[in-house]
Structure 1
């Protein structure tokens, strides 16, 4: 394990921490959207054989034959990864590292594990939406509605990949179909309020000691990684910490203020927590 003392010192000296997270964090927690692995087989093996489902992401974007089948898939997914979720060691380590410092989280993960691990919802921007809200599929209006309680009812009633028709959610205004609030088409309703809160956070710490802590984001990522590196380049007192397994990419203009930690997130955050003395 490399020397984490300089990273710990940067975090301890920071006025605030901006956390960026993508698929690598989800995978560390056991949620792999792209994999046809044992976990996928155990949860969705029947749908894999019935519909040719290849992975969770395939199911999320599938054109299901009916609303009963669409919500059969989604309710099972939400129940397993949200309804039954307990904060993992990697999230507990992250909470300890952040401690009492001000923070903001920008993530493309939609399973709401940050919020369920004790991070404040008003300090989280889920750029591609999340599984625990739904919207009118058309959309006839831009209100978002909670899904967890309904998804739990659906999951309890689901049989052979279908839910009872009476549990299918309908738009309260137009009566049309609802969909999980996830990026995937022209009808996605962006969370402008969360984006504005992130901008306010960045304005508040402009020119101050900001640590950008990036978790499990691939080098090609233009949604979060590229903007975070540009932000560090524009902030003379900011430090950049990227943790990823087997793939560390830092642009030349910020290398002098950056730390690249190559290894499993679970190991690295545990060691970083120890180095921070928390």
Structure 2
């Protein structure tokens, strides 16, 4: 281990121990580091038939494929959801994160949608999944603001998929307008924000208010530039305006941030799993 890396580990450990508040921002890179990858062997092992039929190359781009029928669409999405939301258990990286902050006042805002924070022990009241959750369905056109648990239906879809299609009787229909359903993901203007979503947003705003100008650590975890206005830019801004704040950025590809925050930022491009194990010890 090089000296600079050890110094950053030691500094991160100290500022976490001294912090009064910790705000975690989880992005796609965090789940990828935890093993929830969208390409490579994990993808080819579980989606061989879809790869053969559609030429899919990864789980991210295949999510935008314009399926011809609802039977085609839900055969793919059911397996996607089953793998990432239900079959994947709690990952060690998320457990390490929880152990690191559980005795501090903390909150999570995440663009991830597979519920890993909650699986690892974070209280649901301390998590704001701002982009949705794989575990719920909504009206495709957002005709009403109720979400529907999909675990039982997804399991049936996966079990009854034949030639990359599900039976017509399993295609979900909106109970209000009778139209088609969608996964509760922020992919268009019809994204449903139910009462739980709004409650989580209020809890997030309350945490920001309580921690303003306090000794706070902003932990930015695998956040890129797909949606920088949700976590990356706000964390930079709050660090800049709070003289007591420190920004911990874990990002292998894009660690650079505001020059004005350099003295208040500890950036890690190294493997997150190793870094958190070292910080915890």
> Normalising by structure 2, what TM-score?
0.91
- Residue equivalent to 2:256: 249
Pair 1:121-2:128 in alignment? no
Give the 3 Å change call, closer, same or farther, for CA 167–135 of structure 1 in structure 2.
Answer: same
1:96-123: CA deviation from partner (whole Å, max 9, x where unpaired) = 1012212111111111111122211221
Pair 1:132-2:135 in alignment? yes
- Residue equivalent to 1:199: 205
Of residues 16, 20, 25 in structure 2, which corresponds to 1:11?
16
CA RMSD of aligned residues (A): 1.7
1:221-278: CA deviation from partner (whole Å, max 9, x where unpaired) = 343211111111122211110112243112122222221122011111111111xxxx
- How many residues align? The count is 272
Gaps of at least 5 residues in structure 1 are none
- Residue equivalent to 2:267: 260
**2:91·2:116 contact (CA, 8 Å) conserved in 1?**
no
What is the CA-CA distance between 1:133 and the residue it aligns to? 1.4
What is the CA-CA distance between 1:42 and the residue it aligns to? 1.2
1:180-234: CA deviation from partner (whole Å, max 9, x where unpaired) = 0111112112433322221111111112111111111236734321111111112
**1:135·1:180 contact (CA, 8 Å) conserved in 2?**
yes
Give the Cα–Cα distance (whole angstroms) in 1 for the partners of residues 189 and 65 of structure 2.
16
> Normalising by structure 1, what TM-score?
0.92
Gaps of at least 5 residues in structure 2 are none
Give the Cα–Cα distance (whole angstroms) in 2 for the partners of residues 212 and 162 of structure 1.
44
Of residues 158, 161, 165 in structure 1, which corresponds to 2:168?
165
- Residue equivalent to 1:217: 223
**1:79·1:152 contact (CA, 8 Å) conserved in 2?**
yes
**SS in structure 1 opposite 2:134?**
strand
Of residues 39, 58, 61 in structure 1, which corresponds to 2:61?
58
Give the Cα–Cα distance (whole angstroms) in 2 for the partners of residues 15 and 121 of structure 1.
20
What is the CA-CA distance between 1:61 and the residue it aligns to? 2.0
- Residue equivalent to 2:31: 26
**2:95·2:121 contact (CA, 8 Å) conserved in 1?**
no
What is the CA-CA distance between 1:67 and the residue it aligns to? 1.3
Pair 1:89-2:92 in alignment? yes
Give the Cα–Cα distance (whole angstroms) in 2 for the partners of residues 246 and 175 of structure 1.
45
